[in-house]
Chains A and B, each alone.
Chain A
Amino acid sequence: MRFWGIAWKNLVRRPWRSSLTALGLSLAVAAVVALIGVSQRLEQSFLQLYNQRGADLVVQHSGGMMQLNSGISENLHERIGTLPGAGQVIGGLMDIVALERFDLFAVIVNGWRADCPVLDQVTIVEGRRLRAGDRSQVMLGKVLAGNIGKHVGDTIEFYAEQFEVVGIFDSFSIYETGAMFILLGELQRLMDRPGKVTGYVVQAAPAGDAAAVEELRVRINGLDPNIRAVAVSEFVRNISQIRLIRTASWVTSVIAIVIGIVGVLNTMITSVFERASEIGTLRAIGWHKWRVMSLVMAEALLLSSLAAIVGASMGAGSARLLGCLPQLAGFLDGWPPGTVIAQGVLLAVVVGVLGALYPAVWAANLRPIQALRRR
C-alpha cells in the first residue's frame, strides 16, 4: 500500500462529501477557464482584424480609446499619408445602431471613403461594392445579411432613413461580416459629424519594422496635439469592452478562489475533526507531524486535482460551445489556449493547498493521548 492510497481511501469513504466539494471546485475552475478563455480570444480576434489588414498604428482622439463620440479631422488623412515612413492609411467613421425589428441592438456601421482599400479587400458575394456618388446605399456583411434575411435590392431602415442594399460581402473578420458599410460622407451627415472620422489605421512603409513603426508613431503624434497614435496591440488591449471582460474574469477568479478555499477548508476540517481519534492513533504509533500533515494535504490535493481535471474540461468545453453559437461564429472558434487551462488547473491546486493548510496543521498538532481518549 502506498501513501496516496491511504489518502484516496479517506476521500472515498465519504463519497458524497468528497464529490460535492470536488464539484464545487470544478465549477469555480470551469468559470475561470471559460471567462479568461473568452476574454483572451476576444482580444485575439480583435488583434487579428488589424493584423490582417497590415495595420501597425491606430490614430485616435487623444482624449481616450475607442471613443465613438469624439472624432478627429478628416483632413489628417493626407497629412498622415505623406509623412515619411507612412504606408497605407485607412480612415473611417464608426457608429453602433440598433435594428430593433430584427432584435439586433448593436450593429456596427462603418463609413468609408469611396476609395477606401477596405471596400476592395472584402469579398463581394452578391451585388457590387459602394462607389462614389452612392447616397442611400448600403453594403451588408454576410453574417448580418443572413441574420436579417436581406438580399441585394431589399431596403433596410436605420437612422430613420431607408437604405438600399447594393452588395453583400464576406470577410475574415466577424467584426466586418456582422457590420454594414456606407459612404463616409453619408455617415457624417447621419451622425452630424461633418469632416470627422473616428480614427485612422496606419501601416508603416517598410511593414512590420518595429523601429520604423515607432518613428512613424512619434511623427504622427507631432502633427496635432489632439490626436494620439498607439501600436495596434496596445490599442486592442485597451479597448474598454475587452478590459471590462478581462476585469470581470479576474474578479470571478478571485471569488472562485475564495469560495474554493472555504469549501475545501470546510470539508477538510470536518474530515479531520471526525477522524481525530484515527489521527491520534497515527501519531501514537510513531507517525511524525509532517507525515500527518502530508496525509491531509494529499487528500486535499487529490480532491482538487480531480476538480482541476473536471473543471478545466467543463470550462474548455463551454468556451468551445459558446464559439459554436451562430451569433458568436468567428469570435471564439476553437479551444481556449493551453495557458488558460493551465491557469485553471493551477488555481485548483492553490485552492487545495490553501484550504488544507489549517486542517493539516491542526491534525499534526493533535496530542495523541487526547485524541485516543476521545473515543
Chain B
Amino acid sequence: MNNPPSPANAEAYLLQVRQVSRVFSDGQVSALVDVSLSIRRGEYAAIVGPSGSGKSTLLNLLGALDRPTHGEVLFGGRSLSAIRDIDSLRACQIGFVFQSFHLLPTLSALENVQIPMFEGPRRSPSERIRKAQELLTIVGLARRMHHLPSQMSVGERQRTAIARALANDPPLILADEPTGNLDSHSGSAILDLFDSLHRERHVTLVVITHSSDVAQRAERIITLHDGRLVPENESGREFLHPQGHVPAVSNSTSP
C-alpha cells in the first residue's frame, strides 16, 4: 500500500507514512518496523495494540515530535524532514492531547488555552482571551475558566487540554490515550467531543486507545503489534476493553 507521491494523494491524504522504522539507540529497541499507512483528511482513526507495541512512537512521528530512523512521514504531501520550521507546523497544524493532560499548573484554564496562541496567527491579548473563552465554551467549561488545573476534575482537565489543542484551529488532532485516566462517564464526554469535532469541524483525528468505545466511534482501526502493522481486515479488537478502562496489567507471576 505504497502511495506514490502525487498531487492527488496530497489532496486526499493529510498524513502518509512510508516504510517507517524507529529504532531507539539506547536499548536497541525497534519500536516500529517498516510501517506504511495513510490517513485521509477528515478521517477518524483509532490506533490500538498491546502496551509497548509502538503506538506512542507512531503518534510522535505523525506529530513531528520525533523523526523516523528509516522511511518518511508526509504532512499534506510534504516530507516532515524537509520542513524547516517544524515548531510552527506543530503549533498551527497539529493539536496534541496527552493521557496526563500536561496543563501548566500555574495557569487557569483560560490561560492554558491561550498558550499555543503565542505561536501561530497574530492575536492581541484580548483576541486571545475571546478565542479561549469560545473554545472553553465548546468543551463545556464556560463556568470553570478561571480555575487552576488542581481545582478541576480530571475530566475537566482533559477538556481544557482539548480546548488548548484547538487553539490555533489545527486540521489534525493527535491524542495519546486521552481517556486513559478518566472514569467511563468523563471518558464518553470526551469521546462525544471528538465526535462533534470530527462531524462539525471536519478535524482529522488520530486517537490511541485501549477503549472499545473509541474504537467503535472511529471510522478505522489501525492495529500495531510488536512495532508492526497488523493488516486491517484482521481484527484488533482483542486489545480493547469493553468498559473503556485499562485493567491493571497482570504480569502473571505464576506460582
Contact = CB atoms under 8 A, between A and B. Distances in A.
Given A291-B118, A368-B65, A372-B98, A278 B91 contact: no
Contacts of A368: 65
A159 interface: no
A369 B125 CA distance: 30
B251 interface: no
A9 B96 contact: no
Contacts, number: 73
A287 B87 contact: yes
Interface stretch (B68-76, B106-114, B213-221): B106-114
B147 interface: no
A13 interface: yes
A9 B110 CA distance: 14
Given A10-B106, A13-B106, A288 B119 contact: yes
A10 B89 CA distance: 27
Interface string B141-173: 000000000000000000000001100100000
B102 A277 contact: yes
Contacts of A13: 105-106
B88 interface: yes
Which of B90, B104, B118 has the most chain A CB within a 10 Å cutoff? B118
Contacts of A289: 87
Given A281-B104, A291-B119, A369 B114 contact: no
Which of A5, A6, A285 has the most chain B CB within a 10 Å cutoff? A285
B34 interface: no
Contacts of A10: 106
Contacts of A6: 104, 106-107, 111, 115
Given A1-B111, A286-B92, A369 B119 contact: no
A186 to B, nearest CB: 76
- Classify the secondary structure of A's interface with B: helix
Interface size class of A (residues with CB under 8 A): 20 to 34
Nearest to A290: B87
A3 interface: yes
Contacts of B111: 1, 5-6
A282 interface: yes
A284 B90 contact: yes
A13 B107 CA distance: 10
A375 B89 CA distance: 25
Contact of B96 (A3, A5, A284, A291): A284
A9 B106 contact: yes
Contact of A369 (B66, B87, B168): B66
A286 B116 contact: yes
Interface in A229-288: 277-278, 281-288
A369 B116 CA distance: 17
Given A1-B114, A9-B106, A369-B66, A285 B125 contact: no
A2 interface: yes
A9 B107 contact: yes
Interface in B52-74: 60, 63, 65-66
Nearest to B61: A369
Which of A1, A288, A368 has the most chain B CB within a 10 Å cutoff? A1
Which of A3, A10, A281, A286 has the most chain B CB within a 10 Å cutoff? A286
A287 B89 CA distance: 10
A10 B128 CA distance: 20
18 contacts: A1-B111, A1-B114, A3-B118, A6-B111, A278-B104, A281-B104, A283-B87, A284-B65, A285-B164, A285-B165, A286-B87, A286-B89, A286-B90, A286-B94, A287-B91, A288-B119, A291-B118, A372-B102
Interface of A: 1-3, 5-6, 9-10, 13, 277-278, 281-289, 291, 368-369, 372, 375
The 5 closest A-B pairs by CB, nearest first: A286-B91, A286-B90, A9-B106, A281-B102, A1-B111
